[in-house]
Amino acid sequence: MNRRAASLICLILICLQPYTFSAEKEELKSIVATVNGKQITREMVAEKLKNITNTDPETLSSMKREIIDQMITNILTEEFVDKQGLIVTPEEIEREIGQIKNTISGNQKYDNQSLEQILTSIGSDINEFKRSIKHSIALEKYFHKKLDETTLRKYFDENKGVFNGETVKVSHILIDTRNMKTDEEFAQALEHIKSIKKEIDQGTAFEDAARKYSDCPSAQNGGNLGFIQRKGNFAKAFLDTAFSLKVGQISGPVQTEYGYHLIKVTEKKEGVPIRFDDVREKVRLEALDAEILKLLDQLRREAKIIINQ
């Protein structure tokens, strides 16, 4: 199975978590966001959550934000694909669907569920999933010429840590800002984490400070997140900082979408020597991901997006 199919399956699995949602009928019709004039309603968000059960309000709020964010991305991507005149044939889409179905049917962790059953369980359907595949294929076509041999070799040279297996063991302290709305709240959160850093500099053990102050579940383990890779499920600012630190060094405040972090590296494992020709396809896919992320960031900056709190 190719990387695109694997990524799409990962998106499905991320959504297969035990959440719940309920809302009054009169609330469902209200608009939660507008993207270049296109509306996202509470009803649309609720539809995504209708089969999800058993969660706490904080987790539910986080889930809603992620769904709205993805809907915004979908609208911007669809607009871009249409504007560029990028053509994806039904045959290309069906080929990807076939690969994904084969992977699901041959893997026990999917609990014998069909692709359609999995999509239904997360409030989606096959047509919506096909649109996601269309976007993925279209963007790969758009960047195909840009990612020539020279560009790929340059990306490899600048990001060898992504490909050579380099890892670091990190701990962190998080002050969660995801539910904050005002500049004053963010300023208070920043001052809070600065005061924690000062306390550590004055002799408090990082692990003790994590247990006392961190909003991350890792707090009970002294903030320990274990070993992480240069390309992983962490925000870019977090990864960039973690891999720039020396063993034993503690960062200053690092802001991500989750909040403010203090990061400590406790161990490093160096990567192995690697040649471009041995990982060329992986380099292409990583470079493609990086270009897509830059494009989406640009589209967001240029778009007129209104989020109704």
Domains, in order of start, for the chain: 3-153+285-307 (1.10.4030), 167-269 (3.10.50.40)
- Mean pLDDT, all residues of the chain: 87
Q: How confident is the model at residue 198 (pLDDT cuts 50, 70, 90)?
A: very high
277 three-class SS: helix
Contacts of 135 (CB under 8 A, 6+ apart): 74, 77, 78, 81
- Residue 15, pLDDT above cutoff 50: no
Beta bridge partner(s), residue 263: 172
Contact 298, 16 (CB under 8 A): no
Contact 175, 213 (CB under 8 A): yes
pLDDT in tens, 56-92: 777 777 788 889 999 999 999 999 999 999 999 999 9
Average pLDDT over residues 101-129: 80
Contacts of 149 (CB under 8 A, 6+ apart): none
Average pLDDT over residues 90-105: 90
- Residue 259, pLDDT above cutoff 80: yes
Alpha-carbon gap, residue 77 to 132, rounded angstroms: 9
The Cα angle at residue 55 between residues 50 and 60, in degrees rounded to 5: 70
Alpha-carbon gap, residue 183 to 181, rounded angstroms: 7
pLDDT of residue 2: 54
pLDDT of residue 8: 52
pLDDT of residue 308: 85
- Lowest mean pLDDT: which of 6-10, 16-20, 137-141? 16-20
157 three-class SS: helix
Q: Which residues of 219-256 are buried (b: 16+ CB within 10 A; e: fewer)?
A: beebbbbeebbbeeebeeebbebbbebeeeebbebbbb
Contacts of 58 (CB under 8 A, 6+ apart): 179
Q: How confident is the model at residue 225 (pLDDT cuts 50, 70, 90)?
A: very high
pTM > 0.95: no
- Residue 260, pLDDT above cutoff 80: yes
